[in-house]
């Protein structure tokens, strides 16, 4: 860099400083990846007081800057006070970031291309459309899917409903009369999306395997029609967040075809499992969907955030024809491909280069290895279920669905009526202890412990160790409550 011509107020770094910054950042990044490889989930007991203490004295915006070395050191302390997606982290639905994805995100930030449209980011736009097609092939939805990347499953579900609305109805339609259907086990973002768009939402009962009850769906559609409402869209859940149940997409597709409704598959968590030969039958019918949501940050090992919304080619009306004739969106182009703009399809204008990480992950690992890792996660959940069944003081609450295992601690010393509160106390202790992590679930009205395994680093030993922690903490509580009773 020629430093002679720099502005006095430049924020740029001298070459030496830049080198030191990247060396320091690389050290921190490598430390995070190493710490995430082995755990624990929390380095110390997580508490609001501890995190606030870390930021003490920082309540006012800093007026004067500090040396980079110092800032990096503080940065390391803040990262270490967070939660890591270690091999014994089984909460929520989150895969660890594959190192390839981490590097891709760094490069995307360095290039900092704004993926609003082809004219603003030509290569990034082409790459995004390409990775969307790859995803469609990967989950066997369609070989030439269209769509876009977005923040996550919630944004994907909202955008899918927007497409359904614009494709299936006229602009003046009474939105309250339009009805969106999804099962009681569907992710709450489906109902939220309906509310945002002002349509009605009709939750549908589930069958014994926690899948949308297709008969109940047909009845609901008939009743709504009879009541003067207009069915619009069915959201089929492909991998429910609680138990991993996959709705019968093929059966639902028959209903949506008969009634001319939009079929959206919420595969935010589960859709990647459709790439696994032994699981694909669960997703049969996905090829009839109009749109599919997939979160690459959940089960494709991409760092946050990376949601995807796929749509059958040519199926949807543009989402944003209201960009109208504003000058800043007027595209001057020759090749029709160069006129492409994501703002016509989604809600956002400025967007980061998310496709780079997907592209690098697929190029480096290949679809086969990724599918094998997903299959391995499913095998870990099965292993956990088998271990639970083999332990007298543990009870399996549901057959594992995809890579989710739900169970509870059930020692003979705890009364049936006290099992919910016993397991709730256990989970609180476990999350506080910090070496392993489970989240909570309600299955058939029972409070349960839930493990979602989406981590290619998780081994049987990690699963066994987690169950040991559950049993040890559980029996401590058992003893505690007996002691309380005596006292
Ligand atoms: C997690 C999840 C969502 C929401 O995805 P975000 O990326 O968190 O917005 C939607 N649907 C299902 C089935 C999910 O598991």
What pLDDT does 181 receive?
98
> From the CB of 152, is ligand 1 less than 6 Å away?
yes
108 φ, ψ (degrees, to nearest 5): -60, -40
- What are the strands of the beta sheet with 394-401, ordered from one edge? 394-401, 404-409, 446-452, 439-443
Q: For the segment 198-247, what is each residue's pLDDT rounded down to a tens digit?
A: 999 999 999 999 999 999 999 999 999 999 999 999 999 999 999 999 99
> From the CB of 271, is ligand 1 less than 6 Å away?
no
> From the CB of 193, is ligand 1 less than 6 Å away?
no
How far does residue 267's CA lie from ligand 1's centre (Å)? 8
* Helix%, strand%, coil% for the chain, nearest 5: 50, 15, 35
What pLDDT does 92 receive?
93
* 3-class DSSP state of 182: strand
How far does residue 158's CA lie from ligand 1's centre (Å)? 11
Q: For the segment 460-473, what is each residue's pLDDT rounded down to a tens digit?
A: 999 999 999 999 99
Confidence of residue 486 (pLDDT cuts 50, 70, 90): very low
Distance of CA 351 to the CA centre of its chain: 18
> From the CB of 183, is ligand 1 less than 6 Å away?
no
d(CA 372, CA 365): 10
pLDDT of 480 strictly over 70: no
Burial profile 414-429: b = 16 or more Cβ within 10 angstroms, e = fewer: beeeebeebbebbbeb
How far does residue 112's CA lie from ligand 1's centre (Å)? 26
Helix or strand (DSSP H, E) at 125: helix 122-138
């Amino acid at each position: 860099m020629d430093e002679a011509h720099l502005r006095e107020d430049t924020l740029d770094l001298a070459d030496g400083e830049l080198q030191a910054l990247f060396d320091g950042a690389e050290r921190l990044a490598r430390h995070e990846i190493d710490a995430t490889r082995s755990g624990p989930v929390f380095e110390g007991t997580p508490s609001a007081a501890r995190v606030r203490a870390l930021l003490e004295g920082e309540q006012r915006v800093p007026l004067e800057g500090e040396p980079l070395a110092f800032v990096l050191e503080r940065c390391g302390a803040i990262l270490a006070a967070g939660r890591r997606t270690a091999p014994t982290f089984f909460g929520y639905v989150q895969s660890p970031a594959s190192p390839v994805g981490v590097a891709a995100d760094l490069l995307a930030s360095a290039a900092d291309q704004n993926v609003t449209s082809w004219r603003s980011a030509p290569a990034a736009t082409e790459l995004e459309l390409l990775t969307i097609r790859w995803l469609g092939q990967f989950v066997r939805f369609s070989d030439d899917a269209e769509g876009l990347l977005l923040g996550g499953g919630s944004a994907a579900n909202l955008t899918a409903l927007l497409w359904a609305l614009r494709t299936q109805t006229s602009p003046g339609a009474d939105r309250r009369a339009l009805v969106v259907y999804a099962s009681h086990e569907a992710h709450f973002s489906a109902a939220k999306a309906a509310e945002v768009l002002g349509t009605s939402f009709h939750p549908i009962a589930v069958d014994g395997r926690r899948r949308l009850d297709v008969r109940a769906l047909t009845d609901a559609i008939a009743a709504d029609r009879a009541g003067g409402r207009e069915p619009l869209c069915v959201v089929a859940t492909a991998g429910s967040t609680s138990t991993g149940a996959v709705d019968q997409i093929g059966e639902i597709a028959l209903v949506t075809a008969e009634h001319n409704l939009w079929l959206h598959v919420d595969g935010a968590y589960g859709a990647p499992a459709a790439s696994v030969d032994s699981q694909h039958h669960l997703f049969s019918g996905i090829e009839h969907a109009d749109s599919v949501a997939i979160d690459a940050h959940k089960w494709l090992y991409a760092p946050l955030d990376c949601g995807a919304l796929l749509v059958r080619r040519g199926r949807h009306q543009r989402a944003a024809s209201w960009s109208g004739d504003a000058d800043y969106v007027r595209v001057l182009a020759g090749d029709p491909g160069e006129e492409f703009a994501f703002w016509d399809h989604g809600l956002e204008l400025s967007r980061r280069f998310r496709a780079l990480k997907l592209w690098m992950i697929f190029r480096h690992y290949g679809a086969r290895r990724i599918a094998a890792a997903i299959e391995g996660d499913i095998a870990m959940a099965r292993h956990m279920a088998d271990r639970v069944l083999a332990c007298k003081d543990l009870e399996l609450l549901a057959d594992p669905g995809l890579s989710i295992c739900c169970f509870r601690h059930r020692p003979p010393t705890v009364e049936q009526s006290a099992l919910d509160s016993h397991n709730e106390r256990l989970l609180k202790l476990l999350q506080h202890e910090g070496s392993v992590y489970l989240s909570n679930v309600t299955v058939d009205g029972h409070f349960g412990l839930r493990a979602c395994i989406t981590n290619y680093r998780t081994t049987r030993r990690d699963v066994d160790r987690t169950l040991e922690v559950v049993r040890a903490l559980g029996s401590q509580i058992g003893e505690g409550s007996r002691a309380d009773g005596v006292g």
